[in-house]
Amino acid sequence: MNNQKIKFEKPSLTIDEQIRLLRERGLILDDEERLRYFLTNISYYHWSIYFKNFQKDDVFYENTNFEDILKIYVFDNKLRLLLLELLERVEKSFKCRIAYELSVLTGDSHCYSNSDLFNIEDDYEKAITMIREEVKKSREISITHYLNRYNQPELPPVWMIIEILSFGQCGKIHKTLKIEYRNIICRSFGIDEKYIVSWMHCLSNLRNNCAHHSRIWNRNFTFKPIIKSKQYGRFFNNNNIRLFNYLVVLQIILSKINPTSSWLDKMKAYIDEGSINIKSMGFPEDWEGRLRKIMTNYKI
């Protein structure tokens, strides 16, 4: 492998030059002004993420029309917004259960400051440092009110703290708790702690990709959810890291916190509208049936 670095010399291109380059590479344009509008408002670099799936060595496959790529882009955007709404529900529920279960169990409004809850002292120190940093940065009314009114304890109660932490930060704290405390939180979902730790980590990753406008369609995600579950294992599609297995995880959690959700109908409509190749997202042929069975408490 040649690891020698070279100088970056790619020039900035005007929109006219970008359009000319796309034509030279074989992209069919029925409406150049339509493309000009999209390149004015969405960067060429962002579009290039989608272009690559229709190219080989930067040349577009024969008969590739910009409208084909636009359908994928529109689908991806709609799916991302739909998932963000669902992931917000999951995040709020997860945060609520962490704060409620720990504070009620310990009888301590500031339970997170008890090092006995954590696996090791180092995990406790990291958690407290992170919480202090987030409190210092926060401009939330509840936080500033607490700091202005109270001098003991130093930091606000757990139900205030949990609101200013990110999904990922809450997952990290949960993961570093002693197993008996993780189990208390996870049993409120009716799911074993080893799955919740893995699955919340994956959903946090999915949420971050959605929030930062990253491509969801045909993406290989960084983390693999644990899928060898006696209760839910048959719903996953092998051991892949594409979207479908993340959707199985999402549907399992939603079946516990929002069992009347009709989000599948919306996603199916988006797929049909865009004529989307479901295999590009790791979907099996019976994807809809699998996800619906989870929501209707299908018994294995």
**Which pLDDT does position 3 carry in this prediction?**
74
The domain spans of the chain are 75-295
**Which pLDDT does position 30 carry in this prediction?**
93
**Which pLDDT does position 299 carry in this prediction?**
43
Q: Residue type at 50? A: Y
**Which pLDDT does position 9 carry in this prediction?**
87
- Token pair recorded at residue 57: 């060595």
The model's pTM is: 0.92
**Which pLDDT does position 296 carry in this prediction?**
79
d(CA 176, CA 256): 24
Which stretches in the chain have pLDDT values below 50?
Answer: 298-300
Residues 6 or more apart in contact with residue 288 via CB below 8 angstroms: 264, 268
User: How far, in Å, are 171, 172, 182, 194, 204 from residue 198 at the CA level?
Assistant: 9, 11, 12, 6, 10
